[in-house]
């Protein structure tokens, strides 16, 4: 594995928790899940749906990240750092503030 | 063996392996404080272990949703909501462990300028994965003490 492809994969992996947490924030903003104590468990499995969407977004971002890592590794590294920091912040924020 | 017994065994395995994964993630957090340090074995082992535990949890999730979720929310909604948080944080724990592993592998091949920053990012990613995994394991233990398969 080259440094470029590893950096690309690291950036793409940072998209997964970022997209996941962003979906949670949107869900909470829209009113969240129906009361789980009152309704029977939904056949739609929200966890897998969110993970699936996050993985698709991460896979779609690998091309641009690879080109960025090819053109400017320093900038690509900065982007990976920023994405990871944002993903961590958003994950913790949704855990603290969302139900 | 009944399905219930299998689920109970898998849930116990998930719980115990989860705490092992937390301990395993602490290893790269400690050794990768030094940017020049190589710890491929520890990085691979902890990342694969936390991924396997998360995979087992994902396998148990449909059964949890069908058999336990509603009852947990009826008896103790606070625990139910904490369990939801655990799942979200687990996604973060796995992905941050992979970010750490990839940055650690990339650092070995990068030029000297990028090497230090990649090593620092690998260390921070493992620290984030450890923090998230510790939260997940703690919440999981509290939830399992409340109700399990």
CB count in 10 Å sphere of residue B67:
14
Instruction: Count interface pairs A-B at CB distance under 8 A.
Output: 113
Structural domain span for residue A72:
3-32+45-97
Q: CB of B64 within 8 A of CB of B144? A: no
Distance from CA of A29 to the nearest CA of B (A): 16
DSSP label at A39?
A: S
ipTM exceeding 0.90?
no
Residue A19 belongs to a domain: yes
Judged by phi (left if over 0) then psi (alpha if -120 to 50, else beta), residue A31 lies in: left
For B121, the closest of A51, A74, A84 (CB atoms) is A84
The per-residue pLDDT for range A34-65, each reduced to its tens digit, is 666 665 555 556 778 888 999 999 999 999 99
Nearest to B53 by CA among B2, B87, B101: B87
Domain count, chain A: 1
- Is A74 at the interface with chain B, CB within 8 A? yes
Listed residue (B37, B38, B42, B41) closest to B25, CA to CA: B42
pLDDT along chain B (149 residues), means of 10: 85 95 97 90 96 94 86 87 89 94 88 85 96 96 86
Domain annotation covers residue A40:
no
Partner residue opposite A41 with nearest CB, options B65, B85, B107: B65
Task: Write down the pLDDT at residue B140.
Answer: 93
Q: How is residue B38 written in tokens?
A: 């190589």
Angstrom distance (rounded) from CA B140 to CA A38: 23
Q: What is the pLDDT of residue B145?
A: 87
């Amino acid at each position: 594995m080259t440094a470029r492809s590893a950096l690309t994969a690291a950036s793409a992996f940072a998209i997964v928790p970022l997209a996941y947490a962003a979906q949670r924030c949107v869900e909470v903003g829209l009113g969240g899940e129906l009361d789980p104590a009152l309704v029977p468990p939904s056949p739609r499995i929200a966890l897998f749906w969110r993970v699936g969407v996050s993985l698709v977004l991460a896979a779609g971002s690998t091309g641009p990240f690879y080109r960025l890592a090819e053109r400017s590794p320093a900038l690509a590294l900065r982007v990976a750092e920023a994405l990871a920091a944002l993903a961590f912040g958003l994950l913790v924020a949704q855990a603290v503030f969302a139900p | 063996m009944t399905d219930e017994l299998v689920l109970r065994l898998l849930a116990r395995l998930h719980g115990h392996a989860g705490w092992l994964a937390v301990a395993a993630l602490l290893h790269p957090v400690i050794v990768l404080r030094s940017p020049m340090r190589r710890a491929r074995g520890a990085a691979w082992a902890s990342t694969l272990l936390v991924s396997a535990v998360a995979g087992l949890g994902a396998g148990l999730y449909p059964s949890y949703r069908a058999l336990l979720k509603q009852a947990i929310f009826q008896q103790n909604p606070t625990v139910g909501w904490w369990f939801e948080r655990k799942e979200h944080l687990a996604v973060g724990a796995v992905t941050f462990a992979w970010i750490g592993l990839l940055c650690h592998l990339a650092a070995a091949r990068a030029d000297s300028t990028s090497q230090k920053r990649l090593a620092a990012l690998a260390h921070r990613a493992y620290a984030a994965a450890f923090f998230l995994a510790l939260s997940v394991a703690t919440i999981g233990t509290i939830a399992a003490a409340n109700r399990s398969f």
